[in-house]
Homo-oligomer: A and B are copies of this chain.
């Protein structure tokens, strides 16, 4: 139906687009670095004391050796539970900070080569696991009394009844994924096994996953984690990850005088048959890069621009922290332009789901009807 010049792979009607040097320079887009007066005062990395620095200007002056964004893993060792996470973090990232006398002393046994020095403006992406451990959010499975309700679900799913009990207490169960019964998915998982026997054992140990609604978000098994836990203990997600992030941010400011943003991250199953990390809590950084209604290069307002930057940071950090035994539960993300904001938190999906599902279903039905029911077109083009 399309012309001959529009065959697949070459759907083109040669248009000439000007190179950007010929275009007018972008107008006053508000992608800027804003920071609170506190951040300015304490800043060791911002050279100017202006409240706004143009992003484009900054980017143009980047030098070759200075990467635009960098990610540094922090090894804080294994937590013992109910431990001083901020203390361990400050210890691991401490050095004699230039021009600042208020930094923590360097502990003699810390390998400074392996850990970065914390700076104002850094974003800490912290695995929910260590936050939970530090907050004592783990339970001995043997101490969990099982209700008949949990027992019934355990019978159907093959999940440990004590784990089901915890899941029911922590979240609302929406459905179940029978891992062991999904042929293609499991095949795909097995393709990625480094140790087929261990992979097989892992699958057998968790025949199903419960799809749950936890703290206003979707996740599997209420985010309860039985791995990297000693003996038969289970780690629960932090009760309020936004509050955890705020606490960590404030403690770092109070104890070391360093102004950082904090993101609490957790791995989430993707329907693509793998996992990607997302942000479940944050402090000091807007989780969304509010850029909606910004115009594109041709001055047209974009529907997009609502980037979930906290999720992007969590995903980026997962490249370093890994899932198994990498021992990098904290990642320092450096060089990102973001708005320092103390009134933001990672939101919930509830409103969007509740308010959005019915209109989506209704419109889908309308579209499907329009697509399939033939109607008379007097001057049809086809």
Report the interface size class on chain A.
35 or more
Question: B192 near A306 (CB under 8 angstroms)?
Answer: yes
Instruction: Name the residue of chain B whose CB is nearest to the CB of A298.
Output: B230
How many subunits of this chain does the assembly comprise?
A: 2
Binds B, one of A8-16, A34-42, A43-51, A100-108: A8-16
Chain B residue numbers with a CB within 8 Å of A78 are: 17-20, 23, 297
Chain B residue numbers with a CB within 8 Å of A71 are: 67-71, 316
Question: A175 near B360 (CB under 8 angstroms)?
Answer: yes
**CA A259 – CA B222 in complex, angstroms?**
42
**CA A26 – CA B334 in complex, angstroms?**
29
Query: 11 extra interchain contacts, Cβ-Cβ under 8 A, other than A193-B290, A227-B304, A311-B315?
Result: A2-B139, A8-B239, A67-B116, A69-B71, A71-B71, A175-B363, A177-B363, A194-B292, A194-B293, A276-B307, A315-B316
Question: A198 near B8 (CB under 8 angstroms)?
Answer: no
Instruction: Name the residue of chain B whose CB is nearest to the CB of A377.
Output: B148
**CA A189 – CA B292 in complex, angstroms?**
7
Q: Does A82 contact B (CB under 8 A)?
A: yes
Question: A196 near B9 (CB under 8 angstroms)?
Answer: no
Question: A140 near B13 (CB under 8 angstroms)?
Answer: yes
Give the 10 A-B residue pairs with the shortest CB-CB distance, closest first: A199-B293, A316-B316, A67-B70, A184-B355, A175-B364, A198-B301, A12-B136, A315-B315, A192-B290, A184-B351
User: Which A174-204 residues sit within 8 Å CB-CB of chain B?
Assistant: 174-179, 181-185, 187-203
Question: B304 near A323 (CB under 8 angstroms)?
Answer: yes
CB distance from A257 to the nearest CB of B (A): 20
CB distance from A241 to the nearest CB of B (A): 12
Question: B15 near A81 (CB under 8 angstroms)?
Answer: yes
Which of B60, B72, B301 is in CB contact (< 8 Å) with A195?
B301
